[in-house]
Structure 1
């Protein structure tokens, strides 16, 4: 696989005679499955923390209400994001399965 570098651009126009940057090879990183699993794990941790703070707030006045509210909102937003990612993945899967070969 050959990578063609993009010429340097200034003000929307390529610079004539400018040195071409060398392509940067992509090294291994986290796989897509690892990224999804990390997101699910982070969402679960936020939900557990919000649940713990809610229970502690109900039993003890030493937990400030804003801390509980913040933890609950973080957990809610993380869950909503995870559901959106799931919906997009399922939509992509359905589109691939509907393709004719």
Structure 2
């Protein structure tokens, strides 16, 4: 088995040696609060979609049971993840508030 040697990408190293700075574009849309709100909106949308597909199934529309179950599980897991993230954020806040300055 032949293993080819690693050839680094010279473009990366030349940019670094010339002194070009890597600029990180900051946007007001990428704040922590906006990202968190966006993810919570996605969780809410999955809950609404799950409820909608369940109601349509109950009304007798042609929807497979497994689609209803999958939508319900996705909504449940996204909500559980959101709760765990919230718990970790609260835990981090409490830890920071206990620090002595």
TM-superposed CA distance for 1:61, in Å, is 4.4
Runs of 4+ in 1 over 4 A off after TM superposition: none
5+ residue gaps in structure 1? 1-9, 12-17
TM norm structure 1:
0.77
More helix by share: 2
Let me know the Cα RMSD of the aligned residues: 1.9
> Deviation per CA, 1:53-87, whole angstroms, max 9, x where unpaired?
11111111401111111111110111011011101
TM norm structure 2:
0.77
- For 1:10-49, what aligned pairs fall within 5 Å after superposition? 19=14, 21=16, 22-29=20-27, 30-49=30-49
How many aligned positions are there?
Answer: 87
Partner of 1:80: 80
Kindly indicate whether structure 1 or structure 2 has the higher relative contact order, using CA contacts under 8 Å at least 6 residues apart. Answer: 2
> Deviation per CA, 1:18-56, whole angstroms, max 9, x where unpaired?
636243111113110001100110000000110011111
5+ residue gaps in structure 2? 7-12
